[in-house]
Amino acid sequence: MTSKHVLLVCDADRARGSGHVMRMITLGSALNDLGATVSLSTHAIPSSLHELAMARSLNVIPRSCSQGDENLASDLPVGDWAAIVFDGYDFSPLTFSELHSSGQHVIVIDDNGDHSAADCSIIVNPNLHASEDMYAAIQTCHRFLLGAEYAMIRKDIRHQRLPEFEQRDGIFLGLGGTDPLDLSTRVNEALVSRFSSEIRRAKGVLNAAITSSSEMGELMARSRVGIIAFGTTTWEALYLGLPIVGLIVADNQSLVAESVKQLDLADVFDCRQHVAVDQIASAVTDLYGNIDLLASRSAAGQRIVDGLGASRVAEEILS
């Protein structure tokens, strides 16, 4: 493969959140570190993410077609691409087929088997529940990158220095880039009435003052317990050894939550139908005072996620 030009394709909106874009920016940064030139093809992403991508030396190319549009392949920029990488739930199978049949090196990042029959050469699923059985229908794929060793941790968080666990205190509250159920305020109010320790809230991409990845890493590293939604922050929390109370706020998070719960890495609450704020606060209280369980979960998370996932995926793309 002579070209080192890579095209990343993703979208973001309030319903779907910003996780896919953040993950692609993380991957793009890792590709840059390997000497690749990276372009990011996007539709309707928040200005804060556009600016972040530019700051990471990605060439942002807006497009008119959303990811589910069957004409997306013809709307993508033409170039001598070493690979075209997709991250999102709603891409049409026709997009992958058209590009793959034209000789493009198509790579699909998937979470829950939404692209279980995609015409592509590499599937990346960085989740604990990932297995090749999910993609048995794919005839073209020659490489499966599955499991948390491929979890893509942002560079600012990966370089975060961790204090000794005994020195941590307070609670980290980060419920996703968009917080679609508006849980942050309600959970914060329930915690304030129970804790004298500091509650550190992360602000998502739709806030006027977004919490940067370096700030978020510092907040998580200093905290004893984290309350998070089961998105990409899950793997960052595990990497930082932050014991978590996790909330399911969208359908696509249920398999992640189940796999984390099976390994006793988190207390889990499903908030899609009912938000049990008092129960969430009680779980945080119980976990906060259980030093043995905190230490056990912290160490287990760090064993599972080593922070090198983005580099591994980037190397595979360019190999």
The range of the structural domain enclosing residue 133 comes to 5-146
Query: How many Cα neighbours within 13 Å face the side chain of 178?
Result: 18
**What kind and span of H or E run contains 247?**
strand 244-248
Question: Looking at residue 180, what is its pLDDT?
Answer: 66
Contact 27, 8 (CB under 8 A): yes
Residues 201 and 263 in one domain: yes
47 in any annotated domain: yes
312 in any annotated domain: no
Residue keyed to tokens 């922070």 = 307
Residues 128 and 168 in one domain: no
318 in any annotated domain: no
152 in any annotated domain: no
Q: How far apart are CA 232 and CA 169, in angstroms?
A: 23
Question: Judging by DSSP bridges, how do beta strands 143-146 and 37-43 pair with one another?
Answer: unpaired
317 in any annotated domain: no
255 in any annotated domain: yes
Question: Looking at residue 213, what is its pLDDT?
Answer: 84
Q: What is the pLDDT of residues 114-169, one digit of tens each?
A: 999 999 999 999 999 999 999 999 989 889 999 999 999 999 999 888 888 888 99
Q: What CATH number corresponds to the domain at position 48? A: 3.40.50.11190
Q: What is the pLDDT of residues 248-259, one digit of tens each?
A: 998 999 999 999
Q: What is the pLDDT of residues 239-250, one digit of tens each?
A: 999 999 999 998
pTM over the 0.85 mark: yes
Residues 17 and 118 in one domain: yes
313 in any annotated domain: no
310 in any annotated domain: no
Q: Which band of pLDDT confidence, cut at 50, 70 and 90, is reported for residue 175?
A: confident
Q: What is the pLDDT of residues 84-101, one digit of tens each?
A: 999 999 999 999 999 999
Residues 103 and 228 in one domain: no
pLDDT beyond 80 at 207: no
Question: Looking at residue 44, what is its pLDDT?
Answer: 81
* Domain count within the chain: 2
